[in-house]
Amino acid sequence: MNILSALKGKDFLKLADFSTEEILALLELAADMKAGKGPVKPLAGKTLGMIFQKSSTRTRVSFEVGMLQLGGHPLFLSNNDLQLGRGETIYDTAKVLSRYLDGIMIRAHGHEQVEELAEHADIPVINGLTDSYHPCQMMADMLTIQEHKGKLKGLKIAYIGDGNNVAHSILIGSAKVGMDVAIASPVGYEPDADIVAQAEGFANEQGSTVVITNDPVEAVKDADVIYTDVWASMGQEAEQDERVQKFTGFQVNEELCSHAKSDFIFLHCLPAHRGEEVSAEIIDGKHSVIFDEAENRMHAQKAILVACMAD
């Protein structure tokens, strides 16, 4: 716990802010808590405000139940519940909520809003998702990979699809823990170049590799983990038809997965569109561990909450 003691009171906004040792220590704590070996009610008397500018199933339920299991109290705050949705400044909101709460989880649009909230809040702020990053999801993903593969370093993860917030956190998280990562996206939908460069720097430190390609077969070759996400994320519904056309050939199906290792596991952050970004045979097949992955959102987030908020 010595490594984690440095995280007390710290924000959890993106994985690039954390060392390899801190990420691995959080994953160890998450595994312990899942196994019932963690601290008992470490957040008793603590309150977490949960701000949702975007709707959610897994983020809301996993944080809410996780906070209750830790002995604390979660408080759901939709955009309609806050004056923030009617023009109050992020600065004022941060200062007021800091007087009432012990921590804030926010699921927002622009990442800069979360950064601003964290800058002015006097309590830890946890990023439940922004348009740029989804760090809590990647923590759950790494916990799941570790459970099924016994390790992280030296494995290869292939992500097929839109270079979105999930792809960005996969890039950073994988590079930080020494996994080889390959991202395959259609032309024009690649991940942000600055985030790719940052991931390459972390990968060089760990002796792993980062590959960005427009060829799904190249990406999944010899992969231990195959990952995908919906082609049109929340807020991109108007682009759905165009994206379906542009992403032709990027479906994760049996033919594509035949190029991976025979014991690969399949991940999806959910919700999924079966028959679109992934075939039913893969998402419902023997390689799929998507429900372990979904459950692990709660365990990974409990570790984050304890590290950042416990006394």
- pLDDT tens digits for range 50-61: 999 988 999 999
Task: Identify the active-site residue in 141, 180, 229, 268.
Answer: 229
**Domains of the chain from N-terminus onward:** 3-133+297-309 (3.40.50.1370), 136-293 (3.40.50.1370)
Helix segments in the chain, DSSP class H: 2-5, 20-34, 58-69, 90-100, 111-120, 135-149, 165-176, 193-206, 216-220, 240-246, 254-257, 280-283, 290-309
With cut-offs at 50, 70 and 90, classify the pLDDT of residue 1.
low
Average pLDDT, the chain: 96
Give the pLDDT of residue 236: 74
Question: Is 206 labeled as catalytic in the residue annotation?
Answer: no
pLDDT-derived band at 84, boundaries 50, 70, 90: confident
Q: Which of 60, 107, 111, 299 is catalytic?
A: 107
- Strand, coil or helix: what is 73? strand
List the single range of 115-119, 216-220, 230-234, 301-305 with lowest mean pLDDT.
Answer: 230-234
Per residue in 160-191, pLDDT (tens digit) is 999 999 999 999 999 999 999 999 999 999 99
308 a catalytic residue: no
Cα–Cα distance, 83 to 78 (Å, whole number): 10
Active-site residue, from 53, 60, 102, 137: 137
pLDDT digits (tens, 9 = 90+) for 7-20: 999 999 999 999 99
134 is a catalytic site residue = yes
pTM for this model (two decimals): 0.97
**Considering only CA atoms, which of 103, 111, 122, 131 is closest in space to residue 46?**
103
